[in-house]
Amino acid sequence: MDENKNSEEQNLIPEDENKTPSEDDLDMSNFSEDYEETGIAVWAKKFGLLVFEVVKVVLISLAIILPIRLFLVQPFYVEGASMEPNFYDKEYLIIDEISYRFNEPQRGEVVIFKNPKNTKIYFIKRVIGLPGETVEVIDGKIKINDKEIGEEYIKFSSSQSHEPVALANDQYYLMGDNRANSYDSRVIGPVNKKYIIGRVWFRGWPFDRINTFNLPDYK
């Protein structure tokens, strides 16, 4: 009886109990039909990829634009009539902020600067007097070191006269082109270079007045 019982128990043990699973046994392809992404999951994945791409483009753009915006060029809008007819109200300008880190402002350049009496206010004027020079206004005419300079860009002149001003080694005499309607060095005095932001390089608006700017020819 014992021998028969042992024989039956042995027959209950699977023949492949210690057999190593084959690749066919591990094949999960049969279950692929049971696992399918829902429409919401697919949409979420695509949306996540879209967000990632947008963030990447924004970060790359900021990495390129911010240094240019902060250290190289800056946009400004003209306000007022002090530079007419060469610059009109609401015109869009690009300011070169890097040049004056290596070079000094030149006579005839149009610059943006902070009002020394209120640095929150910005002005656009033209460089007339350079450091070390003496500037005098007689009946609207400009004299530099007792020599009159010609200004062909002036259309709206003034007949006013102002006492001679001797400029220090870091000062500039800045004036608006519309001499009859300009709050400039005739009122606020010479402007220290530290207040000058940069020179006007490019006019981008309006389209029919798009232009870059060269130094005028003083005779």
- What CATH code is carried by the domain that includes residue 145? 2.10.109.10
pLDDT beyond 70 at 55: yes
Residue 217 lies in a domain: no
Find the domain containing 64 and state its range.
38-77
State the pLDDT at residue 66.
53
> Is there a single domain that holds both residue 100 and residue 179?
yes
Calculate ∠ Cα 145-149-152, nearest 5°. 160
Residue 4 lies in a domain: no
Rg (CA), the chain: 39
- Look up residue 87 and give its amino acid: F
pLDDT in tens, 172-217: 999 999 999 999 999 999 999 999 999 998 898 898 998 888 888 8
State the pLDDT at residue 22.
53
> Is there a single domain that holds both residue 47 and residue 136?
no
| Residue at which a domain ends, from 77, 105, 137 | 77
> Could you say which of 7, 29, 82, 155 is catalytic?
82
Residue 124 belongs to what H/E stretch? Answer: strand 118-129
Give the bridge partners for 191, in sequence order. Answer: 172
> Is there a single domain that holds both residue 71 and residue 82?
no
> Is there a single domain that holds both residue 109 and residue 168?
yes
Q: Which of 69, 70, 195 is nearest to 127 (CA)?
A: 195
pLDDT in tens, 21-39: 555 554 545 544 444 557 7
State the pLDDT at residue 31.
44
> Is there a single domain that holds both residue 101 and residue 138?
yes
pLDDT band at 63 (very low <50, low <70, confident <90, very high): low
14-28, 34-48, 54-68, 134-148 — most confident range: 134-148
pLDDT in tens, 72-127: 557 888 999 999 999 999 999 989 888 898 899 999 999 999 999 899 999 999 99
Q: What is the rounded average pLDDT of the residues 6-12?
A: 45
> Could you say which of 7, 114, 117, 125 is catalytic?
125
User: Under a CB-based contact definition with an 8 Å cutoff, are residues 215 and 109 in contact?
Assistant: yes
pLDDT beyond 50 at 152: yes
How far apart (Å, rounded) are the C-alpha atoms in residues 58 and 55? Answer: 5
Q: Which of 147, 181, 178 is nearest to 164 (CA)?
A: 147
Specify whether 159 is catalytic.
Answer: no
> Is there a single domain that holds both residue 151 and residue 189?
yes
Q: What is the rounded average pLDDT of the residues 150-157?
A: 91
- The pTM (predicted TM-score) of the whole model is 0.68
> Is there a single domain that holds both residue 144 and residue 71?
no
> Is there a single domain that holds both residue 127 and residue 104?
yes
> Is there a single domain that holds both residue 139 and residue 187?
yes
Specify whether 114 is catalytic.
Answer: no
Number of domains in the chain: 2
> Is there a single domain that holds both residue 127 and residue 192?
yes
State the pLDDT at residue 58.
66
| Residue entry with tokens 């250290």 | 71
Q: How far is CA 72 from CA 1, 153, 206, in A?
A: 102, 28, 23
> Is there a single domain that holds both residue 193 and residue 160?
yes
| Residue at which a domain ends, from 47, 77, 107 | 77
| Residue at which a domain ends, from 28, 61, 77 | 77
